[in-house]
Every structure is written in C-alpha cells, then in structure tokens.
Amino acid sequence: MNQKYPPYTNDNTTPPTVSLRDYDDAEWADTTCVDYRPDLQGYVIVDLEQTDYVVAHIDKTDNNVLDVIFKSAKETHAKQQQQ
C-alpha cells in the first residue's frame, strides 16, 4: 500500500472509488493516470511509475465522459499513425 494515495477498503484489499471531479482535485493526481482495464470492467487510476498498482476505481457514473475522451484519443492516434 502506498501512503500518498487514498487507503484501500475491505481490509486493505479493494481500491477506493472516486469521481472524476475528486480525481481532478486530488493532490496525487499528477503522479497517476486514468486507464481502462477490461479485467476490472472499468476505468481505474494507476500509478505512473508502477502501472500495475491501481490507486482507485473511477465511479461508473463517469464512464460516459471517459468513453468519449478515450474514443477521441484513439481516433487522434490512428490519424497520426496514417500521416
């Protein structure tokens, strides 16, 4: 467990769930990034240096916003690869 991130729940086995708004305001946001994990069936926040460390789950109510962001990023990346 990393002390700079919010504590895990359920006897330290489950990452907490945070909203995008809370994530944007978090003091630890600059050391993390959002990722989609099919095995966890949703978006998570991971440590930039240790990407297998899930800091938190993103609240599923924010999935639509993240779906749009990730779709746009993938389309931009595909266009850049064609150039």
Task: Report the predicted TM-score, pTM, of the whole model to 2 decimal places.
Answer: 0.82
pLDDT band of residue 71 (cuts 50, 70, 90) is confident
Q: Find, among 73, 35, 70, the residue nearest to 55 by Cα.
A: 35
pLDDT confidence of residue 30: 95
Residue 35 lies in a domain: yes
How many angstroms separate the Cα of 7 from the Cα of each of 15, 47, 56, 72? 7, 14, 9, 32
pLDDT confidence of residue 77: 76
pLDDT confidence of residue 25: 95
Residue 69 lies in a domain: yes
pLDDT band of residue 39 (cuts 50, 70, 90) is very high
Question: What is the extent of the structural domain holding 56?
Answer: 17-82
Our count of domains for the chain comes to 1
